[in-house]
A and B are shown apart, each in its own frame.
Chain A
Amino acid sequence: MTAPAGLSRPVPTGNLAQRFQQRQKILWYLSMVFIALVMILPVYYMVYLAFSELGKEFVFPPGIIPDPIKFENVLRAPEGTATPLWGYAKNSILYAGLGTLGALVAESMAGFALARMRFPGRNVLFALTVGMLIMPFVATIIPKFLLFSRIGLVDTYWALILPWWFGGSPYGIFLMRQFFLTIPREFDEAALIDGAGPWRTMWLVLMPQAVPVLVALGMLHFAYFWNDLLGPLVFCQTRVCKTLPQGILANYQATWDPQWAMFMMSTVLMVAPVAVVFILAQRRFKQGFLFSGLGGR
């Protein structure tokens, strides 16, 4: 059998440049594996501890998996040492849910205004918003605390949720503005001729197109609120509004015996739902950032 004319000659292999490229690729993968390990190891150790037997968490040398595996920790940990975690979880859901919703509404509206409406001082406002990105948010905690204590919101959910309804985050505003800028203005004009003002143009025409971005941004917010410890610590000192991280802290870490297995199991249980949602929505999430013209760098 004869090979086709074009394929009959052997392809030259193994020149220097190719080998160099290959070596670079291997180095690249090795470093990625290393970074991944650094990220995964603590998480792995958390899960390892969560399934360990109480009091036997730190046997030396540690195995690859705990011995014995204590599945009952899943049920025992939420019971807590003093107060069950369920009440805290309810508060966390409220805080993260309403906070996310409020932040998305506020950021969308601000982003829309900055992208689409003409008003004096718009550029100054936008510059300030971007400036806020470099402001450590801790710097605003004391003024915020003073303000909320003055109007009597401290020790209620509202201290945690309301700020997000009135402004969201500068990052979110920036992201939404960038997204709205990518939508052709013809949509606004078509809607204007159809009889929609800015309000209905935004909600009926532009926001439905923003779903991927909203999903991405919403997940970032939700994860932040869900894991937030500092905010609740400052603004909530009573059981009524304490959140899950506070509950875990109160039950396990702040006691004379941390009960590491239970402590870690509560943390695993707290993180798991968010992690699962994140993994399921991963593609949408990436899409959201690509859409807004901010991803893919």
Chain B
Amino acid sequence: MTFVTLEDVWKVYLDGTVAVDSLDLTVEEGELMVLVGPSGCGKSSILRMIAGLEEISAGSLHIGGEMVNDVSPDKRNIAMVFQNYALYPHMTVAENMGFSLRLQHVARAIRNRIVGETANVLSLSELLGRQPAQLSGGQRQRVAMGRAMVRDPRVFLLDEPLSNLDAKLRTQMRTEVRELQQRLGSTMIYVTHDQVEAMTMADRIAVLRRGVLQQVGTPRELYWEPANLFVADFIGSPAMNLLQGRLRVDGDRVHLVYGEGKTFELPSELLTGPPRADAQGKEVILGVRPEHLTFADNGSEQGIPVKVRFSEVLGSETLVHVDVPAPTVVTEGLREIAQDIDDTVLSQLETAEESRFVIKLSGDRPIGAGEDRHIVPSRDSRLYFFDPESPVTPAWSPNRKEDDDE
């Protein structure tokens, strides 16, 4: 059943900034929907509009079939977990959790019972008398969840609830929150900028960029069928390998001409059908996920020539970093990371004659640094084609599908 519906929702701030641009989104009952995107993509604004902390500039918001645009936050029957938890520092854990009930004038005995039960579920019973300052990060996080649960809300809203925890604890809390959500069967809308968090927790993910929804789908769908370059680049770690070039069609065979006149024949078994008429000469970005690339046999001249830089051995898998003789495709994600390091890194990337690919091999199979090898897509791999003009142009296919007669 559709539980939360946003229809043509806009958020425009007083200074004219459009934070959310005509958003249509539905969240099913009992679903964990993750809103994900880089900073400034509007995900928090959406959450705050659902909570009622921000006004909705235009459009309509329904929760449980009821239009709630003008309903005050406490009447929307939602609960929110804040990034910094916002636990009232002068109240004990029990008082924090019971505060909403106290405001509703629920009798103390009932209040204590509900708080006690919730604390039990979250293993907080021992801590009920403590103050937030006496708790560890993970415990605070749990109290914040508990405070939300006590209200028995129709929808849980979580705003980057794990970002203040260290990496190990974050992984643990991730599963904890997910298990809790499944046990309670509650509807959750979860905001994060961390795509790994999104992939591991979500029933469905909504990817946003500059206030515009790019794609909604299950983690699988986003991974296997990214709608455009932005989603393809954002989802998946390590990120998808990208190679820009021009298509050349010879009968049924399709080549990618890249770098300085190098060509790479796209394996025909990976193409979905005969080439389209307009594929000839088209400028594209070819995308292949790290686990879909493999090394050709030593001495083979097939595929894309690369120089091995180094191998990261992770035990169950090995990440081999190689240089490809073609300019780097600087995506928004890459640009953001580069700028975070240093502006010179970005200019280096933009002018580099080689680009870095990552190849994920299963098992412990390091390749010696400095080796010259060739890489080819593995047999079960998928190739993605994107428009270099804009990261949001829908992904494209150079082939006619069997059922697709244009």
Contact = CB atoms under 8 A, between A and B. Distances in A.
Contact of A187 (B74, B88, B100): B88
B86 interface: yes
B82 A196 contact: no
A136 interface: no
A189 B82 contact: yes
A200 B103 contact: yes
A204 B89 CA distance: 11
B86 A196 contact: no
Contacts of A205: 88
Interface in B42-76: 51-53, 72-74
B104 interface: yes
B78 interface: yes
* Most B-side CB within 10 Å, residue of A195, A196, A205, A208: A195
A209 B91 CA distance: 10
A189 B53 contact: yes
Contacts of A200: 103
A190 interface: yes
Given A189-B80, A193-B74, A193-B78, A184 B104 contact: no
B82 A209 contact: no
Contacts of A196: 74, 103
B80 A193 contact: yes
A54 to B, nearest CB: 53
B99 A194 contact: yes
Contacts of B151: 194
A193 B79 contact: yes
Nearest to A190: B86
A132 interface: no
Contacts of A195: 74, 100, 103-104
B26 interface: no
B280 interface: no
Interface in B78-95: 78-80, 82-84, 86, 88-91
Q: Which of A187, A193, A195, A196 has the most CB of B within 10 A?
A: A193
Nearest to A200: B103
Interface string A156-195: 0000000000000000000000000000101101111111
Given A208-B90, A209-B90, A190 B80 contact: yes
B105 to A, nearest CB: 10
Does more than half of chain B's interface fall in helix, strand or loop, or is it mixed? Answer: loop
Interface residues of A, number: 16
Contact of A192 (B73, B84, B88, B91): B73
A133 to B, nearest CB: 30
Interface string B25-49: 0000000000000000000000000
Interface in B90-120: 90-91, 99-100, 103-104
Contacts of B99: 191, 194, 204
Contacts of B72: 192
Contacts of A209: 89-90
A169 to B, nearest CB: 26
B324 to A, nearest CB: 46
Given A193-B73, A193-B74, A195-B74, A184 B103 contact: no
Nearest to A208: B90
A260 B80 CA distance: 68
Nearest to B78: A193
A194 B51 CA distance: 11
A128 B83 CA distance: 37
A117 to B, nearest CB: 15
Nearest to B48: A189
A183 to B, nearest CB: 10
Contacts of B86: 184, 186-187, 189-190
B103 A194 contact: yes
B82 A194 contact: no
Contacts of A190: 80, 82, 86, 88, 147
A192 B74 contact: yes
A184 B74 contact: no
Contact of B74 (A194, A204, A208): A194
A267 B147 CA distance: 54
A205 B80 CA distance: 17
B82 A186 contact: yes
B91 to A, nearest CB: 8
19 contacts: A184-B86, A186-B84, A189-B51, A189-B73, A189-B80, A189-B82, A190-B147, A192-B52, A192-B74, A194-B100, A194-B147, A195-B103, A196-B74, A196-B103, A204-B99, A208-B90, A208-B91, A209-B89, A209-B90
Interface of B: 51-53, 72-74, 78-80, 82-84, 86, 88-91, 99-100, 103-104, 147, 151
By Cβ-Cβ distance, the 5 closest A-B pairs, closest first, are A186-B86, A195-B74, A194-B100, A208-B90, A190-B86
Given A193-B52, A208-B90, 17 more contacts: A186-B86, A189-B86, A190-B80, A190-B82, A192-B52, A192-B72, A192-B73, A192-B74, A193-B53, A193-B74, A193-B79, A193-B80, A194-B74, A194-B147, A204-B99, A208-B91, A209-B89
